[in-house]
Amino acid sequence: MGSRMLRGTGKRKFLRLLFLLPYALLRMAKVTYIHPDGSVKVVESENGKSVLQIALENGIPVEHACGGNGFCTTCSCDVQEGQKMIDTGVVSAVNEREENMGVEGPERRLSCQTIVHGEITVKVVEA
């Protein structure tokens, strides 16, 4: 592959794919949780689980008054990095349930409705 092919956005796309390849091959998700007190915890999980599900499986406290059904907003989080690694990869795509609950993307999401497919960083929002 010549250097002419790695210019501008093409180069960025190539580097992004190269960076994401291990996660895609291993079908792994990596989530960095930043809590309101500033503490940080990084965990890995398999792809296709919600931010809330991964947190609970790893003992990370995230409020979830409705049990993860998208009806309370206590699990709100801000996706700070990796927005293309959630849901279908479409930035700002809050789902219908989030929209009905008044959640406005692209950063603010419900952690029970946000499915992870790679590496992301979320800030847990105090309810």
C-alpha span between 83 and 106 (Å, rounded): 8
Task: Candidates 43, 74, 84, 95: give the one binding ligand FES (CB under 6 A).
Answer: 74
Binding ligand FES (rule: CB under 6 A), the pick from 29, 53, 54, 70 is 70
Listed residue (51, 97, 43) closest to 72, CA to CA: 97
The helix (run of H) or strand (run of E) holding residue 92 is none
Least Å distance, CB 54 to ligand FES, is 13
| Contact residue for ligand FES among 110, 115, 120, 125 (CB under 6 A) | 110
For the chain, the residue count is 127
Amino acid of residue 96 = E
> Does residue number 68 form part of the binding site for ligand FES (CB under 6 A)?
yes
- At 101, list the tokens: 């609950």
Closest distance to ligand FES from the beta carbon of 11 (Å): 38
**How far is 79 from 34, CA to CA, in rounded Å?**
10
Kindly tell me which of 68 and 82 has the beta carbon lying closer to ligand FES. 68
Q: Pick from 53, 73, 83, 114: which binds ligand FES (CB under 6 A)?
A: 73
* Burial class for 120, CB neighbours closer than 10 Å (0-12, 13-18, 19+): buried
- Footprint on residues 2-41 left by ligand FES (CB under 6 A): none
- Contact residues for ligand FES (CB under 6 A)? 64-66, 68, 70-75, 110, 112
